Amino acid sequence: MFKHPRESAELISIIAEHVSIDPDSIKKFARKIFESNVINEFDLRRWRSDNPLHPQTITEHTADWIFLIDSLNFSFWPDSGHEFTIGGEIGYWALCFAIKRALTQNIPITDPKFYCKITLEQVKNLFRTDNQREIPMINERFSILRENGKILVENFQGSFVNCIRQSQSNAITLLKLIYDNFPSFRDEFCYRSVQVTFLKRAQILIADIWACYEGHGLGFFNDIDQLTMFADYRIPQILHYFDILKYSPELTDSLWANNLLNYGDQYEIEIRGQSINAIEKIRLELRRLFERESIGKFSVPNSIQIDFYLWSLRRSISDLIDLKSPYHKVRSIYY
């Protein structure tokens, strides 16, 4: 049953034992974002301009590129501590490079009619690396490509564009459509007899559509602000770095020991749920700052924009962050 991620996060805030949120750090960081906002940190055009591996020529079919990318947008951290690289890129950008490389070789990888029948050998070739280190979860990526391609062909006339149109420009309706039709996007589990739903990849899929089309056409959603941040393993890391998230000694020791968590573990649930709550608190504090200082020229950033900002900021100071704040490790198709 569909449940809004914000509702799940609010429940976790009540029962959390190992992860808390520091109110003073929320205010301090909101001020930092407020000052960054006036230099256009949140301009949606940056989705393309700052990211050359994102499509630079936008058409209707770009939505199928985004759907493909976010179908596979999970679990990039290395097993051994040695990163795999594709075209010199790591993580998400390695994925983008692999797709770009395939398209330049006239492989129709963004066409669901192609990848619904793709073979495992083709997938391994698609994601061949520079250093012979295999991208994590290659078999799961293969299965997801086949499954999602088949669903698009059978239910949406072979394009995610038709799924977007069914939503009638409503982000929550689209979130429910993705949840109902694509099992690999159902980021949910039962915790203490209660359903918990985060939907990281489903939400970032909608957010990427919104940002790519700059809030117009296929990217216009009349309720885009209803989406939360995308609860993964990198945003919690930077929230901890800025002392917004506080971890118990037990959790801290476990993370520094590089212990692998299971999807749905207490530690993992609290980290992800409290990250959503922290971003919501930052958003509300930003609204207060904008109202108090009467900045009418700029709109208050939503949770998506705050997430984008944090993700970019983490990349720019990743060495500093890794020294102070470990990230939690879970092998999962959901993030």
Q: Which of 232, 253, 265, 307 is catalytic?
A: 232
Give 105: exposed, middle or buried? Use CB within 10 Å, 0-12, 13-18, 19+: exposed
Q: Which residues pair with 245 in a beta bridge?
A: 21
The DSSP secondary-structure symbol of 183 reads G
Q: Cα(2)–Cα(260) distance, rounded to whole angstroms?
A: 28
The DSSP secondary-structure symbol of 225 reads G
Strands 260-261 and 194-197: unpaired
* Structure tokens given for 308: 């984008």
The DSSP secondary-structure symbol of 74 reads -
Q: How far is CA 62 from CA 53, 73, 281, 303, 328, in A?
A: 13, 16, 33, 23, 32
Q: Cα(309)–Cα(151) distance, rounded to whole angstroms?
A: 33
Task: Please provide the DSSP assignment of 19-41 as one string.
Answer: EEE-HHHHHHHHHHHHHHHTTTT
Answer yes or no: 111 catalytic.
no
Q: Cα(112)–Cα(109) distance, rounded to whole angstroms?
A: 8
Question: Which residues lie closer than 8 Å to 244 by C-beta, 6 or more apart?
Answer: 21, 22, 25, 26, 29, 278, 282
* Structure tokens given for 19: 């992860």
Secondary structure element (H or E) that encloses residue 189, with its range: strand 188-191
> Contact 204/27 with Cβ under 8 angstroms?
no
Active-site annotation, residues: 232
